[in-house]
């Protein structure tokens, strides 16, 4: 029997081997597809699995005011996340949802959604939680240790932004949203600088989330956020906000906004839009009237839309983002252009008959008043419309527009704040080719175009600094984490708009406006305030106006520019009655704070001295209100005042000290007399009042140079009765030798 393998078997074995090889070839082809063609894709997927990528958050920088007072700061907090792919059982899911809802007061639906994303490796549950909440979570996790929740839940360091002063400068500073990113204001504008760059540590991990023994570890260091030092001065900002709030209270205006600027540099010392909001809880609507309106809306979609609108309105920095018709304040620039171009001189006159016919219409002065023959030095204080219409026409639209542009009304100021309103040709102002005689005439007294408050104050400041239009700025310095200066803002001159000479004339003219003109409510004795008021109708709102004041002080050496606008005052208010007094109070506070000494005229000096009120017999409780303006020191616990120092009707400084005694035979209060020699008037006064004394000014306080004290009636270092009047003698150090 031939048992040899047959030919057929050989053939069949080759066929079988052929099929086998064909199959192997398919497999090799498949491997080629997987490894060569799609290898990269799989490799990335594998890496995503294998690498544990830990983010090391950079600390957000701090925001300081110019005195290094903290305005915004990040504090450490915690962030909770889960790895839903590690969830094995429904019981774990339920525990997680219950726990998060209970501890963090979250919406159960949202949490459930996150927990159910089983293919996801990372779902953030909540950020910016404090230690107490973190501890509560940890306790919850350890309570359910048997469910191994801690393999699912992770807690990472996070930061939370705090604004120690609450609503302070809120529309300027802005706030941060989730993920620690700026949402508005400086927080938004300087987000990149403040944020820094988060670092990462990338390590390999195995499927049990343990470390994979591998040299693959890459660390990217976190670059800490940088800090900002603002030009904003906490004290100035405080005065500004206080006065604006008061203005709203007095006039029931919808908004009031103001800017305080360093005339010489363009640095913004204060900026505010009132009403404001608390930066620590920006999502709350603070206006009661708005809340009331919203509560009336029934449709839920409309309601949430209204809520969102209200919030955006609340956060809006109107000083930069809104524009308004500047009205008569703009006459300053027409006057400056007229003087610069020689269209008028300080002596040229014009006769105002209360109205002027412009293209078939009559344009009137305010209240149809006829101002008669006047120079620019009278027309400006009178805010005479016809004068400026005539002047505008005389300049012609080309020259008018040249100055309109030169003073910066056709461009953004470039202030380092977000969402500055951009002037739009033929929308917010007329271009030359669209401007007719009627538009030119109206524009000459500040109507038919719009400007932002920041544009206005920048232009006004140029009148006070010798004609230089500055670029306003609010961030003075950028500091690194160790406090080293990374960059410092240099004041930037945009252009010379008018000559220094014209600017000086403007200062004088503007001071006249405050001394006797429409802005007299901004007058502060000794501080030579210069300015201009404006009251403009709002074109888009019926019967509403914006009352504004813009000016600077002291007129002989301008330091501080102030713009105040009261938007839609409900009680009758004009620039002169509504805005100028606010500005006056701000000037008074700020200039004193900045140690800019008042320079009183003799007349002012007389006004600065008053007679002491008679407080004897007044009830102790009422003595302070009876003697408002004075610093009153009550000694003893009697019910009525029995004696006072200085005594009634004695002449004493306006803001001096009065010591009142409520008990008979009470021991007289005494204090050590300070050395008042070699001081300016303001310093001497401050020091005396702080020590419990009054000064009586003797000698001259007028003069261009320094006026210093050289003698005092009660010698220094002696003891004297509190409230006593010390005569201090002053003399000027300049122009006294010849």
Q: Kindly list the residues in this chain that would bind another protein in the complex (CB under 8 A).
A: 3-6, 8-10, 12-17, 20-21, 23-24, 26-28, 30-32, 34-36, 38-43, 45-46, 49-50, 85, 118-119, 204-208, 212, 214
Give min distance, CB of 44 to another protein, in A.
9
Q: In angstroms, how far is CA 714 from the centroid of its own chain? A: 46
Taking the least distance from each CB to another protein, the nearer of 30 and 308 is 30
For residue 522, what are the β-bridge partners? none
Taking the least distance from each CB to another protein, the nearer of 91 and 619 is 91
Give min distance, CB of 213 to another protein, in A.
8
CA angle 206, 207, 210 (to 5 degrees): 45
Give min distance, CB of 218 to another protein, in A.
15
Q: Residue 224: CB partners within 8 Å, gap ≥ 6?
A: 58, 59, 61, 196, 480, 481
H or E element in which residue 293 lies: helix 288-296
H or E element in which residue 319 lies: helix 318-321
Residue 75, φ and ψ in degrees, nearest 5: -120, 155
Neighbouring C-beta atoms of residue 517, cutoff 10 Å: 23
Q: Are strands 227-230 and 217-220 parallel, antiparallel or unpaired?
A: unpaired
In angstroms, the Cα distances linking 730 to 324, 458, 607, 680 are 47, 37, 18, 8
Give min distance, CB of 46 to another protein, in A.
4
Taking the least distance from each CB to another protein, the nearer of 151 and 496 is 151
- Find tokens 């406090």 and name the residue: 483
Residue 564, φ and ψ in degrees, nearest 5: -125, 130
Q: Taking the CA atoms of the chain, what radius of gyration do you get in angstroms?
A: 36
Taking the least distance from each CB to another protein, the nearer of 203 and 242 is 203
d(CA 360, CA 297): 47
d(CA 380, CA 489): 36
Give min distance, CB of 93 to another protein, in A.
14
Taking the least distance from each CB to another protein, the nearer of 29 and 678 is 29
| CB distance 126 to 100 below 8 Å | yes
Taking the least distance from each CB to another protein, the nearer of 85 and 448 is 85
Give min distance, CB of 6 to another protein, in A.
7
Taking the least distance from each CB to another protein, the nearer of 15 and 704 is 15
In angstroms, the Cα distances linking 602 to 18, 142, 679, 680 are 121, 80, 19, 16
Structure tokens at 626: 């009876």
Taking the least distance from each CB to another protein, the nearer of 19 and 422 is 19
Give min distance, CB of 100 to another protein, in A.
22
Nearest Cα to 570, choosing from 241, 249, 244?
249
Taking the least distance from each CB to another protein, the nearer of 13 and 541 is 13
d(CA 99, CA 104): 8
Q: Are strands 70-82 and 153-162 parallel, antiparallel or unpaired?
A: antiparallel
Positive/negative CA dihedral, 713, 716, 720, 721:
positive
Give min distance, CB of 147 to another protein, in A.
18
- Find tokens 């932004």 and name the residue: 161
123, burial (CB in 10 Å: exposed 0-12, middle 13-18, buried 19+): middle
Give min distance, CB of 4 to another protein, in A.
7
d(CA 395, CA 401): 9
Give min distance, CB of 10 to another protein, in A.
5
Taking the least distance from each CB to another protein, the nearer of 49 and 346 is 49
DSSP state of 35: I
**Omega of the bond prior to 654 within 30 degrees of 0, cis?**
no
Taking the least distance from each CB to another protein, the nearer of 16 and 716 is 16
3-state secondary structure of 505: helix
Give min distance, CB of 30 to another protein, in A.
5
| CB distance 324 to 536 below 8 Å | yes
Taking the least distance from each CB to another protein, the nearer of 41 and 53 is 41
Give min distance, CB of 50 to another protein, in A.
5
Ranges of H-type helices in 446-520: 453-464, 500-515
3-state secondary structure of 537: strand
Give min distance, CB of 37 to another protein, in A.
10
d(CA 643, CA 656): 17
Q: Residue 571: CB partners within 8 Å, gap ≥ 6?
A: 250, 251, 252
3-state secondary structure of 142: helix
Taking the least distance from each CB to another protein, the nearer of 218 and 702 is 218
Give min distance, CB of 115 to another protein, in A.
14
Taking the least distance from each CB to another protein, the nearer of 3 and 603 is 3
Give min distance, CB of 54 to another protein, in A.
18
Taking the least distance from each CB to another protein, the nearer of 41 and 221 is 41
Taking the least distance from each CB to another protein, the nearer of 17 and 516 is 17
Give min distance, CB of 82 to another protein, in A.
15
DSSP 372-425: EEEEHHHHHHHT-HHHHHHHHHHHHHHHHHHHHHHTTTTS----SSSSPPPP-B
Taking the least distance from each CB to another protein, the nearer of 3 and 296 is 3
- How many CA atoms, within 13 angstroms, populate the side-chain half-sphere of residue 592? 15
Give min distance, CB of 425 to another protein, in A.
56
């Amino acid at each position: 029997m031939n048992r040899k393998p047959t030919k057929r078997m050989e053939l069949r074995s080759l066929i079988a081997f052929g099929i086998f090889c064909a199959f192997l070839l398919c497999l090799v082809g498949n491997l080629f597809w997987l490894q060569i063609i799609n290898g990269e894709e799989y490799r990335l997927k594998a890496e995503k699995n294998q690498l544990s990528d830990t983010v090391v958050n950079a600390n957000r920088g701090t925001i300081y005011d110019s005195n290094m007072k903290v305005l915004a700061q990040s504090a450490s907090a915690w962030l909770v996340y889960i790895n839903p792919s590690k969830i094995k059982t429904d019981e774990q899911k339920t525990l997680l949802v219950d726990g998060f809802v209970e501890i963090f007061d979250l919406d159960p639906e949202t949490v459930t959604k996150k927990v159910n994303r089983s293919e996801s490796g990372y779902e953030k549950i909540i950020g910016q939680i404090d230690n107490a909440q973190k501890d509560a979570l940890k306790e919850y996790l350890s309570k359910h240790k048997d469910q191994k929740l801690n393999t699912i839940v992770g807690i990472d360091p996070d930061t939370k932004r705090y604004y120690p002063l609450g609503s302070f400068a809120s529309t300027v500073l802005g706030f941060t949203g989730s993920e620690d990113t700026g949402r508005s204001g400086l927080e938004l504008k300087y987000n990149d600088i403040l944020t820094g760059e988060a670092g990462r540590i990338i390590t390999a991990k195995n499927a049990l989330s343990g470390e994979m023994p591998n040299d693959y570890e890459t660390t990217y260091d976190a670059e800490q956020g940088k800090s900002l030092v603002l030009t904003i001065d906490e004290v100035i900002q405080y005065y500004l906000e206080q006065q604006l709030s008061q203005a709203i209270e007095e006039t029931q205006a919808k908004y009031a906004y103001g800017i305080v600027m360093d005339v010489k540099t363009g640095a913004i010392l204060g900026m505010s839009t009132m009403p404001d909001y608390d930066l620590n809880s920006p999502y709350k609507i603070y206006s009661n009237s708005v809340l009331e309106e919203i509560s009336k809306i029934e449709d839920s979609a409309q309601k949430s839309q209204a809520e969102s609108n209200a919030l955006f309105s609340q956060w809006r920095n109107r000083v930069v983002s809104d524009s308004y018709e500047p009205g008569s304040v703009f006459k300053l620039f027409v006057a400056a252009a007229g003087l610069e171009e020689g269209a008028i001189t300080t002596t040229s006159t014009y006769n105002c008959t209360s109205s002027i016919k412009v293209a078939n219409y009559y344009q009137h002065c305010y209240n149809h008043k006829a101002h008669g023959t006047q120079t620019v030095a009278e027309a400006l204080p009178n805010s005479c419309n016809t004068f400026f219409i005539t002047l505008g026409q005389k300049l012609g639209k080309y020259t008018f527009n040249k100055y309109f542009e030169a003073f910066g009304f056709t461009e953004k100021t470039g202030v380092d704040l977000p969402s500055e309103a951009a002037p739009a040709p033929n929308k917010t102002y007329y271009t030359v080719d669209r401007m007719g005689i009627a538009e030119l005439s109206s524009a000459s007294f500040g109507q038919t175009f719009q400007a932002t408050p920041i544009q206005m104050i920048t232009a006004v400041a140029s009148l006070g600094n010798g004609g230089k239009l500055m670029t306003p700025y609010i961030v003075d310095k950028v500091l690194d984490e160790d406090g080293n200066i990374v960059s410092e803002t240099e004041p930037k001159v945009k252009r010379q708009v008018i000559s220094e000479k014209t600017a000086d004339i403007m200062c004088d003219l503007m001071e006249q406006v405050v001394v006797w003109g429409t802005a007299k409510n901004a007058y502060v004795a000794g501080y030579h305030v210069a300015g201009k008021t404006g009251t403009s109708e709002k074109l888009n709102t019926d019967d509403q106006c914006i009352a504004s004041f813009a000016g600077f002080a002291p007129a002989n050496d301008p330091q501080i520019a102030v713009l105040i606008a009261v938007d839609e005052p409900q009680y009758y208010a004009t620039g002169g009655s509504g805005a100028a007094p606010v500005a006056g109070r701000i000037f008074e506070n700020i200039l004193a704070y900045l140690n800019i000494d008042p320079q009183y005229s003799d007349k002012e000096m007389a006004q600065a001295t008053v007679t002491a009120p008679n407080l004897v017999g007044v009830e102790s409780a009422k003595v302070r209100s009876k003697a408002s303006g004075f610093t009153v020191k009550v000694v003893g616990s009697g019910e009525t005042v029995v004696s006072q120092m200085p005594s009634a009707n004695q002449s004493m400084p306006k803001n001096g000290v009065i010591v009142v005694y409520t008990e008979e035979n009470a021991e007289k209060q005494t204090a050590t007399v300070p050395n008042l020699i070699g001081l300016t008037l303001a310093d001497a006064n401050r020091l005396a009042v702080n020590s419990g004394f009054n000064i009586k000014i003797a000698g001259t306080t007028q003069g261009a140079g320094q006026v210093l004290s050289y003698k005092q009636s009660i010698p220094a270092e002696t003891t004297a009765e509190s409230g006593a009047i010390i005569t201090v003698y002053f003399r000027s150090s300049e122009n006294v030798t010849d």
